[in-house]
Amino acid sequence: MTHEGLHVAIIMDGNGRWATRRGLPRAAGHRAGVASIRRIVDRALDHGIARLTLYAFSSDNWRRPSAEVQGIFWLLRGFLRLETKRLCQRGVRLQAIGRRDRLAPAVRDAIEKAELLTAAGDRLDLCVAIDYSSREAIARAAIGMTMLPEGEGLYQPILSQHLMRDNSDVDLLIRTGGEKRLSDFLLWESAYAELYFTDCMWPDFDEVEFDAALEEFYGRERRFGGLSVTAPAPEAAVSTY
């Protein structure tokens, strides 16, 4: 089965706990998580998925120990350096969302270089959220609208247009690692997303796990606030006259 047009977003959670349970440093979990990214990108291409958004580093993650943060960005730079050519060959266009002003110059340069080199990719949009906060993105968009003229029904379409400039509506949002929350990820874009939570830690999340999430997604009925297509017609009102 192909999944053309589908936007899948993933909160890649559980790297540190995966490593701790094995008596390894947390950095080992982050390294193992990179291998999962490669697997899932390949699987998304196999399925014909249009967009894959990965939550790599939230704005709240700056609270972690500096050594761990530096390790994460070291792995990010390594991933970009080693994988960009392969992404180009497979038709993947890389894009980063989130703040860039707090990133080290070397990290920003690596991101911008990868975005430029993969710009022609037309098989899969791979979006990586780095130093990302959905609430901050919404707040920034709202602040940018303060000078707009008033008008009924005006604000939401313009706000949506601004927020969706770098992304699109999420169809399926997956979170690994056993937690059941969105953690400030794509809140606007996930308004009608189907949510899938799994206890599987991100380093163990493979093609079988990914396929299981897609299978459950297609087993659900998405009504977007309307009625079920299989629901019986409402009973006709009985006249009292």
> Could you give the residue numbers annotated as active site?
13, 61
Environment class of 166 (CB within 10 Å of its CB; exposed 0-12, middle 13-18, buried 19+): middle
For residue 59, the Cα-to-chain-centroid distance in whole angstroms is 14
What is the distance between the alpha carbons of residues 209 and 12, in angstroms, rounded to a whole number? 13
